[in-house]
Amino acid sequence: MKLRQGFILLCVLFLGACSSAPNPESTDLGQQESTDLGPTVVAFQSGDKLLHGYLARPEGAGPFPAVIFNHGSESNPGARKPLEKFYTDLGFVVFEPHRTGHGLSADAGDDIVTQTQALQGQGLSPQEMQAAIWGLHEAANEDVVAAVQWLKTQPDVDTSRLAMSGCSYGGIQTIITAEKSDSLGLGIRAFVPFAPGAQSWNPILATYMTQSVQNAVPPIFLIQAENDYNLGPSEVLGPILESKPDPNGYKDYPPFGTTVEEGHCGFSLNPSGIAIWSPDVLGFFEATGV
C-alpha cells in the first residue's frame, strides 16, 4: 500500500512533532496533551438508554472523514487526547463513545466488568461462561452501532469515509462491528483493532473471534506490541487476515515501554506509540479509501 505524497508529508510532520513526545514508558495512557478545539461531550441514544461520548473536530467546515475509537474495559476511559490530536491534525473527526456503565455513560447501567463478575458463582462451565461473556460483548456492541448511526447524522462528517479502531475490549468491539458492518449498512471502510481481547485470551474466546474475523467483509488491520499480555490475537487471527484479500492484515511491533499494560493499550494511545504505528495505519486507511 502506498500513500499519496501529500499524506506522506502530513505523516512526516506529525512524526517529527512526536520526537519530543513523552517517554513511551509513561504510565499515562493517553492524557498528556489536548486538542486545540476540544473534545466536546455529546449524547446519543442506544435503545432506551441515553449514552455519552467525546467528539473532537478539526478546524474547518468539513465534511471530514471520521474515526470511531472504542475504549476497553476500564470504568472511566476519559478522553484520548493525544489520539484526538493526531487524527484532528490530519483532518479527521474523532468520536469516542462510552458504552453502558463506562465513563460518561456510567449512570446508564452496569459496565461489562460488573456484569461479568455477576456471572461468577452461577455454576457455569467454562464454555457456558465464555458464551455468556461473549453475549455481553454482543450486547455492548449495540451501543457501538448506535454510536456509529448517531455519528452519521452529523452534517460535518463524510459518511463515505468512516474508520473504526479500539483497544482490548474495544478491539473486540471493533471486530464484532466489522462482522456486522455490511449487514447493518454502517458503511465503515476500515477497522483497526489493537490487542483485541489479549488480556482475557483463551481458546473459547479465540473461537468466537475467529468466526467474526472470517465473516467480516470490510478490511481489518490487527495490531499488537510484542510485550502485550498475550499474542494469541495476532497468532490466531493474523493468519486468517493474511489469507483474505488486501489490505487485510496484521502486524506485531517491537515491545513498547517496560510493562505489559504499556505494551497493551499504552501502545495505541501514547504519543510515542502513535508515532510508531501511524504510518502503517494511514497506509491502510489510504488503501481502503478513508
Domains in the chain: ranges and CATH: 5-288 (3.40.50.1820)
Grid cell in block for residue 156? 460535518
Q: How many CA atoms lie within 13 A of 202 on its CB side?
A: 10
Predicted pLDDT at 32: 33
Partners of 251 in the beta sheet?
A: 223
Predicted pLDDT at 62: 85
pTM: 0.87
Question: Residue 131 to residues 122, 230, 274: CA-CA distances in angstroms?
Answer: 14, 21, 34
Predicted pLDDT at 38: 64
* Size of the chain in residues: 290
Kindly write down the DSSP assignment for every residue of 115-175, as one continuous string.
Answer: HHHHHTTS---HHHHHHHHHHHHHHHHHHHHHHHHHHTT-TTEEEEEEEEEEETHHHHHHH
Predicted pLDDT at 138: 97
Predicted pLDDT at 37: 52
* Phi, psi dihedrals of residue 34, rounded to the nearest 5°: -135, 150
Partners of 53 in the beta sheet?
A: 42, 97
**How far is it, in rounded angstroms, from Cα 11 to Cα 16?**
8
Contact by Cβ (8 Å): 83, 94:
yes
Predicted pLDDT at 30: 37
Q: Which ranges of the chain have pLDDT less than 70?
A: 1-38
284's CB contacts (< 8 A; 6+ apart) are 1, 190, 192, 219, 221, 247, 249
